[in-house]
């Protein structure tokens, strides 16, 4: 009897303790941050600014002096599987074997992107983030203060930052500091059934009018939708940008304008006329294209490996072209960056060596040729090696063609994640209801502003 | 079936047709999984889908098997699920007995508190538990995957209900015969509620077997991962290799089937107690 009583009490205590821990989270963070700052301040005592921005000052001193890095192990959390993981492992093993400082990078597979995102979030709360990790900008909106600012590393110890594609540099600076280096980059392209297009006398589209024409012809002759978009929220933002409009920022929707209405007129007309259709249960249009059930679709360049062009009785030639622009070109970039969380100064320096290595011309070429991701450097695109590879790869050619027009959604404000979901859901509903452009515009604007209130 | 009246025979026929249809219907996803696991990458995305693969791609199994260290994942999963199940049985039986039979001050309040925790969604506890595990420095250990699941309020509640329905007279009679509480519990109470306890064991085992997020959160090395982590390795940002997922799922499901064959009787009885879907 006493034993039961004790057990009941013990359980109650455990429950109570776990509640306390929840409240203690922020307290723990503060204390470690202070510790790190103190440490950095000691190292860079000579610097007058040390007290204000401890870590930054320490880095500047270190980079200016001769570089010394103690042998250490760096943990890298990633979400790469299959051949991507293979290539990543090969590159990392090369780095581990060849770097002169005795740095070992340990790769830790954390499942898929969403698993990685959850893990990072939990570890940010527990203050146990890895040294570096793959991340989209919207992963760390809530804990951007834990991301190491790389500005000084880039300024002092990165010979050719301008060689990195501009859209990637912009993306990695959106928080007002450099938060990462671009890693596994892809872009949205238009994949189409070239056999069908040739048969109907259609060319790869170049303008919105072309898209509409293709839609009319394919619907009339084949009874099929001509176009689909794997990601609806990215489709909307791309279309707005193509039409010279803005999308969303922390103040709310920015496209409640004449141009915004024109954009939605175009979009809703495509869907309401049956020229475009929703993806439905499949999630990706690659299967539809493989089965000759759609003329073409806009999807990630990495999705090309999921298109089968040789299903019995349905063989076709695949065509790939840049996403069609209107007043200007705009194509959605996807793929993560490598972000640093390391607190220890030596680990930061070591991690930086790895980040430099992974984004070097040589590495990014190998990575791109192995995996179908895109090189992150202009010089890599222009190298003989990659040009040769590109000659035999229509996806890479199209990606190269639209490289200057890449963009990503603004992620550096609270609610950006939710807006992505809300916009996708709302667009799906509007299209299912065959809403007119004005209703679509009003509904979208209202839903977006709702999130931010 | 003893009756030979025509109407009874017709009734039997109707009954069995419905039962057979139901059985086929239930079996279909499983058959589909097996057949899909043998299709080529082309055939699996073909629309309309084919039922029987044109060519049996047994290589899918080899490919899926090579993608992750499945034997290690398997051992981890079995170990974690078994220890968790034994542990949860022990805590649930003891606490259920206390709630059902013993009198102690604050019993009702503590029981209500227990019940109240059922209202907290698991997702809310995720980060809290994770921080606790981190502070204990249990990351990447079996402990982290087992200890948080050793007590389960729902199972405690379930067993409390069953234990309460055992007549008090039995307990008092045992007391008269100088039987200790523990002895009464394990000699009389537990055997009398064998089916309910088996249900808890099965639910706990299956829950542990299928768990994904928590083991992923608290582990970092490949050696500590579990079977469900092997399955996500066939997904990427742009699509899923369904044929490999299916092949891996087939491999995954075999041990469960073996367990089922041995425990069929208890599982069926247990399921009918809780109304949980199979």
Residue A126 has pLDDT above 70, yes or no: yes
pTM for the model stands at 0.81
pLDDT at A232: 92
- Please list the ranges in chain B whose pLDDT falls under 70: 1-3, 267, 269-278
A243 pLDDT band (50/70/90 cuts)? very high
Q: In sequence order, what are the residues at sequence separation of 6 or more whose Cβ sits closer than 8 angstroms to the Cβ of residue B39?
A: B50, B53, B57, B60, B243
Q: In sequence order, what are the residues at sequence separation of 6 or more whose Cβ sits closer than 8 angstroms to the Cβ of residue B203?
A: B155, B270, B274, B276
CA distance B159 to A71: 56
CB contact under 8 A, A122 and B127: yes
Q: Is B101 on the interface with A (CB under 8 A)?
A: no
What pLDDT digit, counting tens, does each position of A404-426 carry? 999 999 998 988 889 999 999 99
Average pLDDT across chain A, whole number: 86
Chain A residue with CA closest to B100: the answer is A4
Residue B131 has its nearest CB partner, among A21, A75, A186, at A21
Judging contacts by C-beta atoms under 8 Å, the chain A residues touching residue B131 are 21-22, 24-25, 125-126
Q: In sequence order, what are the residues at sequence separation of 6 or more whose Cβ sits closer than 8 angstroms to the Cβ of residue B276?
A: B203
Least confident of A13-17, A83-87, A256-260, A376-380: A13-17
Three-state SS across A102-152? CEEEEEEECCCHHHHHHHHHHHHHHCCCCCEEEECHHHHHHHHHHCCCCHH
Contact A353, A103 (CB under 8 A): yes
Query: What domains are there in chain B, each with its CATH number?
Result: 60-274 (1.10.3720.10)
Q: Which DSSP letter does residue A319 get?
A: E
CB contact under 8 A, B238 and A118: no
A303 pLDDT band (50/70/90 cuts)? confident
What pLDDT digit, counting tens, does each position of A367-409 carry? 999 998 999 999 999 999 999 999 999 999 999 999 999 999 9
Judging contacts by C-beta atoms under 8 Å, the chain A residues touching residue B125 are 18
Residue A82 has its nearest CB partner, among B42, B54, B236, at B236
Judging contacts by C-beta atoms under 8 Å, the chain B residues touching residue A119 are 216-217
What pLDDT digit, counting tens, does each position of A18-36 carry? 333 333 333 333 333 333 4
Residue B238 has its nearest CB partner, among A21, A288, A300, at A300
Least confident of A10-14, A207-211, A222-226, A428-432: A10-14
Provide CATH 3.40.190.10 ranges for chain A.
67-186+335-391, 187-333+408-452
Q: Which CATH number fits domain A187-333+408-452: 3.20.20.70, 3.30.1490.20, 3.40.190.10, 3.40.50.720?
A: 3.40.190.10
- Compute the nearest-CA separation of A316 from chain B (Å): 13
Portion 31-50 of B in contact with A at CB < 8 A: 41-43, 45-47
Three-state SS across B149-210? HCCCHHHHHHHHHHHHCCCHHHHHHHHHCCCCHHHHHHHHHHHHCHHHHHHHHHHHHHHHHH
Q: Does domain A67-186+335-391 have CATH number 1.10.730.10?
A: no
Q: Which DSSP letter does residue A45 get?
A: T
CB contact under 8 A, B132 and A17: yes
CB contact under 8 A, A82 and B104: no
């Amino acid at each position: 009897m006493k034993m039961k009583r004790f057990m009941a009490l013990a359980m109650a205590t455990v429950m109570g303790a776990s509640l306390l821990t929840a409240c203690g989270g922020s307290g723990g963070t503060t204390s470690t941050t202070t510790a790190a700052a103190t440490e950095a301040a000691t190292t860079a005592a000579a610097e007058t600014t040390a007290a204000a921005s401890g870590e930054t000052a320490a880095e500047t001193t270190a980079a200016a002096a001769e570089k010394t890095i103690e042998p250490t192990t760096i943990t890298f959390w990633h979400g790469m599987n299959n051949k991507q993981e293979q290539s990543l492992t090969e590159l990392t093993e090369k780095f581990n074997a060849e770097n002169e400082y005795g740095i070992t990078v340990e790769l830790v597979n954390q499942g898929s992107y969403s698993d990685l995102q959850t893990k990072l979030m939990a570890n940010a709360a527990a203050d146990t983030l890895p040294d570096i990790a793959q991340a989209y900008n919207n992963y760390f909106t809530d804990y951007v203060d834990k991301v190491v600012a790389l500005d000084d590393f880039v300024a002092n110890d990165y010979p050719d930052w301008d060689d990195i594609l501009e859209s990637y540099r912009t993306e990695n600076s959106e928080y007002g500091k450099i938060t990462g280096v671009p890693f596994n980059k892809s872009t949205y392209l238009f994949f189409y059934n070239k056999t069908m297009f040739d048969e109907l006398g259609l060319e790869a589209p170049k303008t919105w009018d072309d898209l509409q024409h293709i839609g009319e012809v394919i619907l009339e002759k084949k009874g099929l939708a001509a176009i689909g978009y794997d990601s609806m929220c990215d489709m909307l933002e791309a279309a707005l940008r193509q039409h010279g409009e803005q999308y969303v920022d922390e103040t709310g929707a920015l496209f409640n304008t004449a141009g915004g209405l024109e954009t939605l007129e175009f979009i809703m007309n495509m869907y309401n006329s049956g020229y475009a259709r929703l993806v439905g249960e499949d999630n990706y249009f690659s299967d539809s294209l493989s089965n000759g059930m759609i003329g073409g679709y806009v999807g990630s360049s990495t999705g090309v490996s999921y298109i089968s062009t040789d299903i019995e009785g349905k063989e076709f030639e695949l065509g790939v072209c840049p996403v069609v622009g209107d007043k200007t070109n705009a194509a959605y970039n996807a793929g993560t960056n490598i972000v640093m969380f390391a607190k220890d100064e030596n680990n930061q320096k070591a991690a930086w060596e790895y980040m430099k290595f992974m984004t070097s011309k040589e590495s990014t070429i190998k990575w791109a040729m192995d995996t179908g991701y895109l090189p992150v450097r202009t010089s890599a695109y222009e190298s003989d090696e990659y040009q040769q590879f590109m000659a035999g790869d229509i996806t890479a050619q199209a990606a190269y063609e639209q490289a200057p027009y890449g963009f990503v959604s603004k992620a550096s404000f609270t609610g950006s994640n939710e807006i992505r979901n809300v916009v996708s859901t709302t667009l799906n509903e509007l299209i299912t209801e065959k809403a007119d452009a004005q209703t679509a515009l009003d509904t979208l604007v209202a839903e977006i502003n709702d999130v931010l209130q | 079936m003893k009756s030979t009246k025509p109407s009874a025979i017709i009734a039997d026929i109707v009954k069995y047709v419905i039962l057979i249809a139901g059985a086929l219907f239930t079996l279909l996803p499983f058959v589909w999984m097996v057949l899909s696991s043998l299709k080529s990458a082309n055939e699996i995305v073909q629309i309309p889908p084919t039922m029987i693969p044109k060519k049996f791609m047994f290589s899918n199994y080899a490919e899926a098997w090579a993608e992750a260290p499945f034997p290690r994942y398997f051992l981890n999963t079995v170990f974690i699920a078994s220890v968790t199940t034994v542990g949860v049985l022990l805590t649930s039986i003891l606490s259920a007995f206390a709630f059902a039979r013993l009198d102690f001050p604050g019993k009702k309040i503590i029981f209500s508190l227990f019940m109240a925790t059922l209202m907290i969604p698991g997702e809310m506890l995720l980060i809290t538990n994770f921080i606790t595990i981190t502070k204990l420095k249990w990351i990447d250990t079996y402990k982290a995957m087992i200890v948080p699941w050793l007590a389960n309020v729902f199972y405690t509640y379930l067993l409390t209900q069953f234990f309460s329905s055992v007549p008090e007279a039995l307990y008092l009679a045992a007391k008269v015969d100088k039987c200790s509480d523990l002895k009464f519990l394990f000699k009389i109470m537990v055997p009398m509620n064998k089916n309910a306890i088996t249900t808890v064991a099965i639910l706990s085992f299956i829950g542990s077997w299928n768990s994904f997020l928590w083991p992923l959160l608290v582990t970092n090395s490949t050696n500590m991962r579990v079977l469900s982590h092997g399955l996500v390795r066939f997904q990427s940002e742009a699509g899923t290799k369904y044929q490999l997922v299916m092949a891996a799922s087939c491999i995954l499901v075999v041990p469960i089937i073996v367990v089922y064959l041995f425990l069929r009787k208890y599982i069926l009885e247990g399921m009918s107690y809780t109304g949980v879907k199979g």
